[in-house]
Amino acid sequence: MPEQGIIDFFKNMVHPAMCAACGKDYPEFLCPDCSSEILPIDLNKCCRYCGIPLLSSGTREGICSSCKESGLNFTRHLSYTIYSGNMKRIIKKFKYSKIYGLDNVLAGFLHKTYRRYFASKSIDYIETIPGEHTKKLAKRFSKIVKIPFKGNIIKIRDTRRQSGLDLGARKINILDAFKLRNCLEYKDKNILILDDVWTTGSTLKEICRIVRQGGARKVFLLTLARGA
Ligand SMILES: [Zn+2]
Ligand SMILES: [Zn+2]
């Protein structure tokens, strides 16, 4: 709706001059106090495939029981932090209140994890799950890391919101819901797919399946936060 577009435009043009997490007066979108409370997951203490934080008594190989049992169609997933507190607040402001000026703050968190692991992986393209806010995030991140964002994944049918569905229902809900716009684009390429939150990973795994079908060599996943 054009009117909504205009409202969103001005909402982001006129900077609210307050922190999106605590609401106090601040010239940026996230104040230093709120930012410092968002702590990264210790990459040395999480599953080497899906990135779930492991207890200190975790398996010797650093692989969680779920990844041991089921085959994976991606090389590695990592989240910057846990989906709680200030990260949860600013993701909701970004996604639902459309405070898109947060794109730089959020892409900055992704970049911290990217530098620690993905920077050495020869990523050819950045991708994301189709959606207005995810596209904004991916575009901003793409500029920071200077890797093209292709927008080659498209949604081809309606789905229900994943929240509130159990794991089995989530898988059915998104099965064959996406396809590649250009099916030759990913041949022999390494793709990094971004998203805001990893909950069960159902949607990301389905996207990985499509991307792998397109001939991608390696698929990596990076999200802001992991569902607690
Ligand atoms: Zn704050
Ligand atoms: Zn795992």
How far does the centroid of ligand 1 lie from the alpha carbon of residue 19, in Å?
Answer: 5
pLDDT in tens, 98-140: 999 999 999 999 999 999 999 999 999 999 999 999 999 999 9
Cα–Cα dist 119/123, whole Å: 8
CATH topology for the 37-227 domain: Rossmann fold (3.40.50)
Cα–Cα dist 44/21, whole Å: 28
The least confident of 15-24, 71-80, 122-131 is: 15-24
Which ligand sits closest to the CA of 67? 2
Residue 41 near residue 82 (C-beta atoms within 8 A): yes
Cα–Cα dist 223/225, whole Å: 6
Which of 216, 207, 100 lies closest to 154, judged by CA?
A: 207
Q: Residue 137: phi, psi to the nearest 5?
A: -65, -45
Which ligand sits closest to the CA of 62? 2
How far does the centroid of ligand 1 lie from the alpha carbon of residue 47, in Å?
Answer: 31
* Banded pLDDT at 88 (limits 50, 70, 90): very high
Task: Report the 10 Å Cβ neighbour count for 169.
Answer: 13
How far does the centroid of ligand 1 lie from the alpha carbon of residue 32, in Å?
Answer: 7
Is beta strand 178-180 parallel, antiparallel or unpaired with respect to 153-155? antiparallel
How far does the centroid of ligand 1 lie from the alpha carbon of residue 91, in Å?
Answer: 14
- Give the global pTM: 0.89
Which of 155, 157, 118, 114 lies closest to 137, judged by CA?
A: 114
**Residue range 85-93: average pLDDT?**
97
How far does the centroid of ligand 2 lie from the alpha carbon of residue 4, in Å?
Answer: 41
Which ligand sits closest to the CA of 66? 2
Task: Please provide the average confidence, as pLDDT, over all residues in the chain.
Answer: 90
pLDDT in tens, 157-216: 888 888 788 888 888 888 888 999 998 999 999 999 999 999 988 899 999 999 999 999
How far does the centroid of ligand 1 lie from the alpha carbon of residue 225, in Å?
Answer: 18
